[in-house]
Structure 1
């Protein structure tokens, strides 16, 4: 890649209409930026932080996120499986990721903190050691998902079938155990 941009702060820029330069961004911060429907094809983000930015419906074909943090971002309908998966490492804090997809990718150890993950597709995803702290997982799809040692103790509204997912040593609260029994259509009184 010809363009290399390092240690730059982008604030309140709109990349939905003015495309982001195809480059490798290292240690950059994007605050209040709008990437709605932006084409991020082949853009590389290394050790970058996105704060209060909107990335909804951005196209992520061959986009690289390596040690990238998202804080308070709106990220509706993203297809993370389209990203370059070499070195893929992301963490999310207070983000809205509804209707996004992590279909069949490895995101071991990823932290989702205070996130909305409604109707997110985790089919075939490796979430070993992932942390779901205070997350709303209503309608999230877990099918053939590896959840070994994942932590769901403070999250809610999830439905995970233990027979079609790997959940060895995963952590759940007593309250959340009902999300493991949904497939049986039984009534549990509290």
Structure 2
């Protein structure tokens, strides 16, 4: 487009002041901290293939403007902030022939910028935000289709009735995310939010990250994306567990995670069940088991030193056989528990019934989704 800048651009009137140029270290707008009604306004301009480098935007409102292929590098959007109202930051139609069913998707990029911005009723589809610090920023009634936010820090972000289909947020850190919808912000199966890294490892940070995951999970559920909801719900509960300081609630949360992954990981029930059977098989070695009324297995500190490895393996095989039967609720086979082991086996049987219920319930839930 720069090469053919002197040719007519279908549907566009490039701004003679702002298009096809590079602004380096310049300031736009008004100084001071002003209300939005007093902002410097840029209205109905087509800004084509412009590079803003190390520029300061202060108290500026872009209204009914179109940006095509523009980049903002090391720019600061400060003081009272910057407003993009009814702006389009993408050119979808192509200049090449034939043009039927073809799109260019020429978007804009923000790199290493400090942003205090409001996007209102705008289209920022396919835009790239990389290494940006985005604070006190609002996205209202804005198309954000396939927008990429990468390696950026976000703080105090408000989203209202936006289309975030295909949006990708990767390698980011976010605090205080709020959806203030009157209708519904749209997510789809390709909308993706990466894991949020933990930096300070404080209770306050864990709670903030937990609330962010929970907010995202609720929004996926609102868009009937139940499988996505489950994944972010799982991340939320895992983060919440790390913020719990009281021992009993933390213990119960840990058990819920180990046994079924908060209802989202059916394989956890399998692994936990196998571990429980092995643990109880070891306990039976010390509480006592009778094999066909001919052999008693009862390990003590005094007789353990005289046992060989093949004997230990054989005895463990018998106690494991008993443990599997008790866990499955089918009873004993060759091995019979001693009086003390009866109490242990009853306890294992109760745990086994509960674990099988949890495992089947979690698996069914995932299959239904």
TM-score range, shorter chain: 0.5 to 0.7
Match of 1:138 in 2: 135
Change in CA separation of 1:176 and 1:64 when aligned onto 2, cut-off 3 Å? same
**Quick check: 2:115–2:134 contact (8 Å CA) kept in 1?**
yes
Match of 1:182 in 2: 178
Listed as ranges, the gaps of 5+ residues in structure 1 are 1-25, 27-41
Q: Distance in 2 between matches of 1:147 and 1:64?
A: 20
User: Is 1:166–2:163 an aligned residue pair?
Assistant: yes
Cα shift readout 1:21-60 (whole Å, capped 9, x = no counterpart): xxxxx9xxxxxxxxxxxxxxx7533310000111233542
User: Is 1:48–2:30 an aligned residue pair?
Assistant: no
Q: Distance in 1 between matches of 2:151 and 2:115?
A: 14
Q: Distance in 2 between matches of 1:48 and 1:169?
A: 31
Deviation of the 1:66 alpha carbon: 1.9
- State the number of aligned residues: 144
Match of 2:321 in 1: none
Higher relative contact order (CA 8 A, sep 6+): 1
**Quick check: 2:123–2:143 contact (8 Å CA) kept in 1?**
yes
User: Is 1:74–2:56 an aligned residue pair?
Assistant: yes
Match of 2:72 in 1: 92
User: What pairs with 1:60-71 in structure 2 (closer than 5 Å)?
Assistant: 60-71=42-53
Match of 1:110 in 2: 108
Listed as ranges, the gaps of 5+ residues in structure 2 are 1-5, 7-14, 31-39, 91-106, 181-206, 211-238, 243-369
Cα shift readout 1:90-117 (whole Å, capped 9, x = no counterpart): 3200001231111121102110001111
109-118 or 58-67, which moves further after superposition?
Answer: 58-67
**Quick check: 2:84–2:122 contact (8 Å CA) kept in 1?**
yes
Pairwise CA RMSD of aligned residues?
A: 2.8
- Helix, strand or coil: the match of 1:129? coil
- Helix, strand or coil: the match of 1:76? strand
Q: Distance in 2 between matches of 1:44 and 1:182?
A: 38
Q: Distance in 2 between matches of 1:133 and 1:165?
A: 20
Q: Distance in 2 between matches of 1:129 and 1:62?
A: 22
TM-score (norm 1): 0.64
Deviation of the 1:169 alpha carbon: 1.1
Cα shift readout 1:138-157 (whole Å, capped 9, x = no counterpart): 11111111111111121222
Match of 2:119 in 1: 122
Higher strand share: 2
Q: Distance in 2 between matches of 1:177 and 1:122?
A: 18
**Which structure has the bigger radius of gyration?**
2
Change in CA separation of 1:44 and 1:71 when aligned onto 2, cut-off 3 Å? same
Cα shift readout 1:116-142 (whole Å, capped 9, x = no counterpart): 111x11021111100000111111111
TM-score (norm 2): 0.35
Q: Distance in 1 between matches of 2:165 and 2:64?
A: 28
